[in-house]
Amino acid sequence: MYFIALVAPGEINKEVLEWKNFMKERHGCVVALRSPAHITLIPPFWLDESLEQNLENAVTGFSTQKRSFQIQLKNFSAFKPRVIYVSVEPNEELQELQRSLQQYLVSIGSLPLKADDRPFHPHISIATRDLHKKAFHEAWNIFEKKKYESSWRANSISLLRHNEKNWEVIFTSQFADA
């Protein structure tokens, strides 16, 4: 399995990792710990490993035509009652990047990707599907009051592959002005 994302830089990943570890210690949540802090652009999909180089080439062909832009993070939100995340401020450049990347990859035709009709809701997960409903309310009482602000310049797209335990970044392609 693979997915495509904007991976947060080290300092932001470190902060997010602290919250993920808090959720592990307090509520036994481990799923979000299996990947670096990121904003998913293309959700997980199956791909034969023989097509991995084609996917990398496609990501490079796309990303080298794009320009970097600012990502603003502010506070926390939730997909009640199972997910708590760092909120990403509305950003037209990010929306356009996700939309055009999906269209580009689907249009190639040789990759097993199809358009995703779900709305794009950029976020950085802290706890996800292994957060039980009862624990959600306790955790949400903490995070809904917590203040957080940070930002970074998105200047690359990364390809992540599942290694049967965790998601690892296997390839990153820089934007034109990076």
Domains of the chain: residue spans and CATH: 2-174 (3.90.1140.10)
Q: In the predicted model, what is the mean pLDDT of residues 5-23?
A: 97
Dump pLDDT digits (tens) for 85-120: 999 999 999 999 999 999 999 998 878 888 888 899
d(CA 39, CA 164) in angstroms, rounded, equals 21
Average confidence score pLDDT of the chain: 95
d(CA 13, CA 167) in angstroms, rounded, equals 14
Question: Residue holding tokens 């990398």?
Answer: 56
Confidence at residue 113, expressed as pLDDT on a 0 to 100 scale: 85
Q: In the predicted model, what is the mean pLDDT of residues 46-64?
A: 95
Question: Residue holding tokens 């624990």?
Answer: 135
Dump pLDDT digits (tens) for 132-158: 999 999 999 999 999 999 999 999 999
Spatial CA neighbour of 38 closest among 67, 66, 65, 2:
2
State yes or no: pLDDT of 2 exceeds 90. Answer: yes
Strand order in the sheet with 69-79: 123-127, 83-88, 69-79, 149-154
Q: Rounded to two decimals, what is the model's pTM?
A: 0.95
d(CA 56, CA 125) in angstroms, rounded, equals 25
